[in-house]
Structure 1
Amino acid sequence: MMGGDLHTRNVEKVVDKLATIIPLFLASTRFYGKRLDLYSNKLLAYVDKSQSKLKVVFIKNVPQQDPSSNDCGLYACRLAKHISNGVFDMSLIHIDAKYHRKSYATIM
């Protein structure tokens, strides 16, 4: 969600705070020790994360839902799926809301 310069600066301040506090929370709840699939394999992305801030990536050209639709959750899920698969260039992504609604309904 893009806004003016003031909005962008405010968002960056909040995201910076979250990037600091989330690793501390995960360490204090012993998240990494509980997830043996992450910790025991010593995946580099998870080693010593309690001491470092999360890497923050601002993604531009994100597909937008139709203003009159209620598909914000669907869009968030689809974008999260792309990001978790390492796709950060959203300029070529097209989300067919009708298709994905049916797909999620089938899975459920």
Structure 2
Amino acid sequence: MNVIRSLNDVYYMDAQNLKDGGQEHHLMEYINGFRMHAAVPWHTVEDTFIPINIKEKHHWVLAILSFSERCIFLYDLYESSGHNSAVLAEIEKIAKIIPLCLQACDFYIKKGIDHQSHPRYKDKESSDMFDVLFQDDLPQQPSGSLDCGVFMVMYAECLSYGHKVIASEFDPNALRTRYAALLWDYGIRKQEANVISDVKAPARPARQSRITSVTEVVDV
């Protein structure tokens, strides 16, 4: 997100410098799959999951960039007066900057998206902002708690497995225990394999996941 903020600052000062000065370079590396955290090019997937920290609110949200819908779907676990405007201010930076970078790295050609015929693109310029849609009926973080990070990770896991995020309360303590166990197991296997880089580390085993009717937690 720091890359997005830097690009957004340059864009507002001088849009031409965004391209001429090479300011797009770092974000385009992610789009093309050259960064460890995003090991595949964006044109090979349907959606991109982006965890976003709202610094003003000390809060985490999940943004899902849908290329087929030309939309950013926003998953936020907290609702209060004035909260959405602060979140939207950050999300709009992504909605403005990413289309410029997609165009610059020939994403639409690689993805096979025809701006003249695609129903979500034909009435838009390639540099126009992506739409932003707040998702409703989500499990909500209790006021004053610090559970936003673990809820955001849970949203990402549910959605990546094709599960619907159900509007009932997750158990944040159970989730923390589960993710700690997964990280511990991965760290032990990494140590046993004598590797120090995630690129060289043993692949995580395939997982069978489901949503339980009681806890709504994905079991391992």
Q: Contact conserved, 1:23 with 1:49, CA < 8 A, in 2? A: no
3-state SS in 2 of match to 1:44: coil
Q: 2:115 & 2:85 partners in 1: Cα distance?
A: 39
Correspondence 1:43 to 2:123: no
Q: Which residue is 2:84 aligned to?
A: 8
Structure showing greater radius of gyration is: 2
- Is there any run of 5+ residues in structure 2 with no aligned partner, and where? 1-76, 142-146, 171-210
Query: For 1:23-102, what aligned pairs fall within 5 Å after superposition?
Result: 23-36=99-112, 38-39=113-114, 42-47=117-122, 50-64=126-140, 72-79=152-159, 81=162, 91=167, 95-96=211-212, 97-98=216-217, 100-102=218-220
Q: 1:2 & 1:71 partners in 2: Cα distance?
A: 10
In the alignment of these two chains, the number of paired residues is: 91
In angstroms, what is the RMSD of aligned CA positions?
Answer: 3.7
Q: Contact conserved, 2:95 with 2:129, CA < 8 A, in 1? A: yes
Structure holding more helix per residue: 1
Q: Contact conserved, 2:115 with 2:121, CA < 8 A, in 1? A: no
Greater RCO between the two (CA within 8 Å, min separation 6)?
1
Q: Contact conserved, 1:19 with 1:55, CA < 8 A, in 2? A: yes
Structure holding more strand per residue: 2
Q: 1:45 & 1:33 partners in 2: Cα distance?
A: 16
3-state SS in 2 of match to 1:57: strand
Q: Contact conserved, 1:32 with 1:46, CA < 8 A, in 2? A: no
Q: TM-score, normalised by structure 2?
A: 0.32
Q: 1:40 & 1:20 partners in 2: Cα distance?
A: 18
Q: TM-score, normalised by structure 1?
A: 0.56
